[in-house]
Structure 1
Amino acid sequence: MLIGNDWCGAHARKVLLIKETSSNNRSTTLKLVHVLFRHGPRTPVNTYPNDPYVNETFFPYGWGHLTNDAKKELFTMGNSLALRYQDLTKPYYKPDMIYAQSSESPRTMMSISVLLAGLLPPVHTPMEWNFKLNWQPIPIFVKPAESDIWLRMTAKCPRYDQALEEVLQQTEVKLELNRYETMFEELTYITGKNISSAADINSLYITLLAEQMYGLQLPSWTEHYYPERLQYLAEQNYIYNAYTMEMQRIKSGPFLQQIIRQMEAYVEGTLIPEERKIFIYCGHDWTITNVLLALKVWKRQMPRFSALITFELHQREDTKNYFVELYFQNDPESDLKPLVLPGCNFQCPLDKFVQLTKEIIPTQSYDEMCRLKYITLLAEQMYGLQLPSWTEHYYPERLQYLAEQNYIYNAYTMEMQRIKSGPFLQQIIRQMEAYVEGTLIPEERKIFIYCGHDWTITNVLLALKVWKRQMPRFSALITFELHQREDTKNYFVELYFQNDPESDLKPLVLPGCNFQCPLDKFVQLTKEIIPTQSYDEMCRLK
């Protein structure tokens, strides 16, 4: 493969250093490569109220986008990979040769585009189409954020959210975070933002890093905290997010499962298309750390922009056996560093690699892994299935408290209640007031019926402050009844809840009111959870 002269010189020296870590000097042949990397340096995504750059526009990029320096860095990384994997890209790029996938984010899509431009320039090949432009279009596949379980890892997963909360409630984690209470208070005062968790520290650390790499002078207070004092908790945040085997299986399992399947398909001769040699994926900092933690090879390297992991499938020329080599590069200016999977050698036989990662590879679909366990058992029980014997020790009593807590955490603050239940309650109040004013359309309407989910019920009950930890059963029901007194003609609201179709409706008393709550009082008491902004305005990152 011929590479244009535009990247020679200074870049070539670094590329050659990376080349030295390759296995090409051994009696083996590189067969297949998977590359996972984080997007390049960007402008900040988040800020804090007292940030001196809170009103910065970051022209011409805007917030959260790649800088020109990032593009140069990623292009050079592509050059480096071109030399390292030149035997796989010979004689020149063809569409079946490579698969590229990005998360649904402008900075990742731009990053992989630039890296591919450096990896596969078309000059002096049949794919050259413009003599003035040493570039060729290469397809990049993207999954929507709401269904991405590989790279952005933002597909909804209630069980993961529950598992994370369980981790944060563990005694050792609480004790660890308690040691930083003073620092949390100091940073809350300094930044003007509530800093009370490892996730908050991680966000602040990355904001300061992005500003620093952009060339901005950090405020003087940061000298006492950044990077050293913030880094430990910033790193701990990644650990908490993949603390258990189950969490690793949810977050990294699908991605690693796909890599293993593709390696095995290559060995079996069933990989489609058969000409495919390289897979390249672009994600985020947590994509990198989740994979490294699942493989048990993370050494608390705070992931930098453009951090990179490679999975290389080699074949020995003598025995024809296949083995896997892992590399990590946290700094584009440094060499690829070999990673050794615990329980194996650096050159890990493929079957051994599969065996060692077995516990983090899913045996269920993503949806099945993500079900809240209490509800799964309840559904099986109500269907008439005999639950396994192990459940006797946990279900329902020991599971129920945390299952209920999950609903509380999902509507923990007034703001969360306003977002989740406010629009629904606002609509009910508007319809009641319209009836009283004679403006309800159509005027014959008397009944509104809505069907939702368990969290629909609990979110409303929590927002009204009338939930008494009733684990919502299937067919649970709330009624809002508008009555008029015959004598005074005044209107009042009665609330009822039925958690079991076999039982009676139970009256609910809104705190601060009687059971028969005057409509104007009902409106007043719910005022704090009724939105005053549009849904989009409420949902913007602050």
Structure 2
Amino acid sequence: MYCCKKKQSRQYKKHRQRTISSNRPQASKVLGSRKNISSSIAERRLGSRNILIAMAIATAIVVITLGTVMGFNTVLTETNEDKELKMLHVIMRHGARTPADTYPNDPFINNTFYPVGWGQLTNEGKLQLYEIGHYFRHRYNNFLGEYYWPDEYYAESTDVDRTKASVQLINAGLWPPKTIQTWGPLEWQPIPVHSEPLNQDMLLLVRKPCAAYHIERDSVIASEEIQSKFKESQNLFDDLTTITGKIVKDFDDVQDIFSTLRAEESFNVTLPEWTRNYYPDKMLGPTIFSYILNAWNDKMNRLKGGVLLKKIFGDWESRADGTISPTTRKAFLYVGHDSTIVNLMRTLKVWDAQLPDYSITILLELYEDSSGTYGVEVYLRNSTLIQPFKLTIPGCDEFCPLEELKQLTKNVIPDNWDEECNVDESYNVPEPGGP
């Protein structure tokens, strides 16, 4: 998906770091936004034939350009600017996939997408993930060391084929066997991928029933601000209902159709003619807004993204006080879904309204500085064409001391998730959708 020639990649070498505003996005701005992703998708629609040719050329030169495209000119050393990297958390969305869902009037509703299947990684997605593994190897080579050691590195995904496969591909690029770990002709070694059953997921999707979350979401949707946005989008809802045969009643329904079209487009099938008037432009704003609406405020984030953040805080604190087990654990890889990324970054208040595209990556780096202070740096990589850019957590510096970060996020870390969720036993919690 993201390939370019050497001369194109130079413009990204001096990519400026960005500071993300902590202000809650105004619904009107989100619905009216035309982010870079809009133009990039539109370009794909307007020049699909040229893009197919470009992809073929890019595949032929990928080995030559890999070092430049993946940003191999930057190596993160263990000691950097008077601080030492102590722990790494990588949180990602899975790679490019085939459609996971459809709609009644979808011309591809009976397509098996053989031999890939529904909701599975495409070849483009597989290559991208493998290259991301190479990127991690380059960026963190000194920190990770040459050999895979299970006490040092832990990988987890949701219990979904495409996320498990994503971890395997990243690991293949990140941990090629060296010397004593070489077991045969393949430059590959098996590395465990951990997961929880979907209905018990309490980390990357948080799918266990939580009445408090849905009660708060209902309250947000009933507010005057959000109801006005529903009214503004009603014509779009009605149009999509008529065209697709799917009842489109809210922003989540728009996101569902958008995601299907995005996946079909990524698989290089020709989208139906009606999409020219709606996809991506008219559907992009409501799709982005659906992600924000599902992580609207601290109370909602506390019960979603706050669960993963609490786990990460536990890792940081046990690393700092020397109680982590195994004692040498230093790196975690988590691969989930679009909501995994949005929920965590909304919880940290560093989410700039955008489409969480395939393979979007958050890097959380724990350092110890020369004074013995532990602190965190946050990076976002939303394109494989650029280096990760540093984010600033509101109220803190780019290097955010751990104790300060703990105070800044205390309102979004659940004390007892089960007790906080079970506020009304009579509330009928809706069945989770997806992934």
In structure 2, which of residues 350, 359, 371 is the aligned counterpart of residue 297 of structure 1?
Answer: 350
Which of 390, 396, 403 is matched with 1:338 structurally?
A: 390
Secondary structure of the corresponding residue to residue 155 of structure 1: coil
Question: What per-residue deviation string (whole Å, max 9, x for no partner) do you get for residues 263-290 of structure 1?
Answer: 1111111111111110010100000000
Name the aligned partner's letter for residue 368 of structure 2. Q
Q: Which residue of 2 aligns with 1:60?
A: 115
Moved beyond 3 Å, runs of 4+: 15-18, 20-25
Deviations, residues 404-442 of structure 1 (Å, cap 9, x unaligned): xx45x86xxxxx9xxxxxxxxxxxxxxxxxxxxxxxxxx
How far did 1:313 drift? Answer: 0.7
Alpha-carbon distance between aligned partners in 2 of 1:8 and 1:271, rounded to the nearest angstrom: 39
Distance 1:348 1:360 in 2: 17
Find the aligned partners of 1:540 and 1:184 in 2 and give their Cα distance.
Answer: 19
User: Counterpart of 1:323?
Assistant: 375
RMSD: 2.2
Contact 2:70–2:386 under 8 Å retained in 1: no
Say whether residues 1:127 and 2:163 are aligned partners.
Answer: no
Q: 1:115 to 1:91 in 2, by over 3 A?
A: closer
Cα distance per residue 1:139-173 (max 9 Å; x no partner) = 11111111111112211212222222222222211
- The answer to whether the 8 Å contact 1:92/1:125 transfers is no
Q: Which amino acid aligns with 1:339?
A: L
1:34 aligns with 89
Separation (CA, whole Å) in 2 of partners of 1:369 and 1:29: 37
Verify the 8 A CA contact 2:99 2:260 in the aligned structure 1: yes
- Correspondence for 1:254: 307
Distance 2:269 2:77 in 1: 37
Work out which of the residue numbers 208, 219, 223 in structure 1 matches 2:261. Answer: 208
- Structure 2: state its 5+ residue gaps: 1-61
Partner of 1:367 in structure 2?
418
Q: Please tell me whether residue 173 in structure 1 is matched to residue 248 in structure 2.
A: no
**Counterpart residue identity of residue 373, structure 2:** N
- In the TM superposition, what whole-angstrom CA distance separates every residue of 1:223-256 from its partner, at most 9, and x where no partner exists? 2211121111111111111112111011011110
**2:273 maps to amino acid:** S
The size of the alignment, in residue pairs, is 374
Is 2:77–2:140's contact at 8 Å kept on the other side of the alignment?
Answer: no
Deviation at 1:17, TM superposition (A): 5.0
Is contact 2:301-2:343 (8 Å) kept? yes
SS in 2 for 1:32: strand
TM-score computed with the length of structure 1 as normaliser: 0.66
Whole-Å separation in 1 of the counterparts to 2:88 and 2:314: 13
Which of 182, 189, 196 aligns to 1:136? It is 189
Aligned to 1:390: none
Residue 78 (structure 1) aligned to one of 133, 136, 158: 133
Contact 1:153/1:287 (<8 A) preserved: no
- Maintained 8 Å contact 2:376/2:400: yes
Whole-Å separation in 1 of the counterparts to 2:248 and 2:108? 19
Task: Report if aligned partners of 1:104, 1:152 keep a CA contact under 8 Å in 2.
Answer: no
The change in CA–CA distance for 1:148 and 1:89 in structure 2 (over 3 A counts) is same
Q: Helix, strand or coil: the match of 2:180? A: coil
Cα 1:129–1:17 change in 2 (3 A) is: closer
Q: Which among 132, 156, 171 is matched to residue 116 of structure 1?
A: 171
Matches within 5 A, 1:315-464: 315-316=368-369, 318-364=370-416, 366-373=417-424, 375=425, 406-407=427-428
Indicate whether 1:163 and 2:216 are aligned: yes
Q: Give 1:27 deviation, angstroms.
A: 2.6
SS at match of 1:16: coil
Structure 1 position 333, deviation (Å) = 2.5
CA distance in 2, matches of 1:23, 1:8: 28
C-alpha distance in structure 2 between counterparts of 1:290 and 1:540, whole Å: 16
* Deviations 1:4-60 (CA, angstroms, capped at 9, x unpaired): xxx963212233357268896523221110000001111001111111211211110
- Write out aligned runs for 1:6-25 (5 A): 9-17=64-72, 19=74, 25=80
Q: Structure 2 CA distance, aligned partners of 1:227 and 1:22?
A: 41
Unaligned runs of 5+ in 1: 1-6, 376-402, 411-415, 417-538
Contact kept, 8 Å, 1:15 with 1:83, in 2: the verdict is no
Distance 1:262 1:154 in 2: 22
- Aligned-pair identity (%): 36
Report the 3-state secondary structure (helix = DSSP H, G, I; strand = E; otherwise coil) of the residue aligned with 1:315.
strand
CA distance in 1, matches of 2:355, 2:220: 21
Q: Is the 8 A contact 1:79 1:118 kept in 2?
A: yes
- 2:106 and 2:73 map into 1 onto residues whose CA distance is 39
Residue in 2 that maps onto 1:47: 102
Report the Cα distance in structure 2 between the residues aligned to 1:21 and 1:176, rounded to whole angstroms. Answer: 44
TM-score (norm 2): 0.82
Contact 1:21-1:335 at 8 Å conserved across structures:
no
Change (3 A) 1:371 1:77: same
Residue 125 of structure 1 deviates from its aligned partner by 2.8
Q: Distance in 1 between matches of 2:322 and 2:79?
A: 23
Q: Does the 8 Å CA contact 1:34/1:311 hold for their aligned counterparts? A: yes
Q: 1:97, CA displacement in angstroms?
A: 1.2
| Structure number, greater radius of gyration | 1
> Residue 314 of structure 1: CA displacement?
1.3
Q: Offset at 1:117?
A: 0.9
1:212 maps to a residue whose letter is: E
**2 CA distance for matches of 1:10 and 1:287?**
31
Residue 312 in structure 1 maps to residue 365 in structure 2: yes
Are the equivalent residues in 1 in contact too, given 2:96–2:263 (CA < 8 A)? Answer: yes
